Amino acid sequence: MSRYACHDHPDEHVFRTEIVDARPGAVLLRESLFYPGGGGQLADRGHLETLRGLVAITGIEVIDGWAWHGVAVPFELHGAVEGHVDRAFRTLMSQLHTDLHLVNAFVFQAFDGALVTGVQMADDGTARIDFDLPAADNERIRALEPMINDAIRADLRVEAVYAPAERLAAEAGLLRSRSVAPPPQDDGSVRIVRIDGLDEQACGGTHLASTAQSPPIRILKIENKGRHNRRVRIGFA
């Protein structure tokens, strides 16, 4: 997988490019700053500015390493376009994703390296993360909320680095999911997201530059989902 341009240029939301291929309901762009989604994070939203007007992006599908952008028009597009990423929606997803890393970090520390079994972010400003915690006391999980919000207020730097894939096997805790791992880049490296002094784990999503860019969160609900899954739902306070 080649590196997403949105990872290398996280603060850019408008870009000029051209359509290099098209099929009914979708176009392939030469370059794109749209995040295609994955790992429980929704794909970016936005539109293309074309000679025929504004065209909404309806979804993004990655096929053989190429991101096809769904378009809400029946006609075939071609030529130069200007892409506009919905900044507010990207920020929302980045806030939720960063906050889920904080939840993950404190649960991992408090419950002997409990692994993640599922994640999902929603466009209403809520998210859920599932852990393999068959015998955990829900109140112990809920008691982590003040520490999570202390980390948000601490303005911890968040950054991404690329490391050899061998680190995932060599260093315990870099891979937090029980069943999936971020796909390696074309050069074999894996993207690692660090929260300064607190956490480091493999991840392919978008994140904030600092934890303080998120509002405080609340743990909305803790649910038992099967014999092993403990679901933690969060939202902004």
Residue 80 is predicted with a pLDDT of 92
Structure-block tokens of residue 101: 């890393």
> Of 70, 85, 100, which marks where a domain is finished?
85
Angle between helices 145-153 and 87-110 (to 10 degrees): 130
Residue 228 is predicted with a pLDDT of 83
Kindly state whether residues 138 and 180 are assigned to the same domain.
yes
pTM tops 0.75: yes
Number of domains the chain is built from: 2
Residue 1 is predicted with a pLDDT of 57
Q: Which domain holds residue 115?
A: 90-236
What is the CATH classification number for the domain harbouring 182? 3.30.980.10
Q: What backbone torsions phi and psi does residue 153 show, to the nearest 5 degrees?
A: -70, -20
pLDDT in tens for each of the 237 residues of the chain? 578 999 999 999 999 999 999 888 899 999 999 999 999 999 999 999 988 889 999 999 988 888 999 998 866 677 899 999 999 999 999 999 999 999 999 999 999 999 999 999 999 999 999 999 988 889 999 999 999 999 999 999 999 999 998 888 888 899 998 887 788 888 889 999 999 999 999 999 999 999 999 999 999 999 998 888 999 999 999
Residue 75 is predicted with a pLDDT of 63
Kindly state whether residues 22 and 95 are assigned to the same domain.
no
> Of 58, 85, 112, which marks where a domain is finished?
85
> Of 54, 85, 116, which marks where a domain is finished?
85
List helix spans (H) across the chain.
5-8, 87-110, 138-142, 145-153, 166-170
Kindly state whether residues 132 and 79 are assigned to the same domain.
no
In terms of Cβ atoms closer than 10 Å to its own Cβ (0-12, 13-18, 19+), residue 154 is middle
What is the CATH classification number for the domain harbouring 40? 2.40.30.130
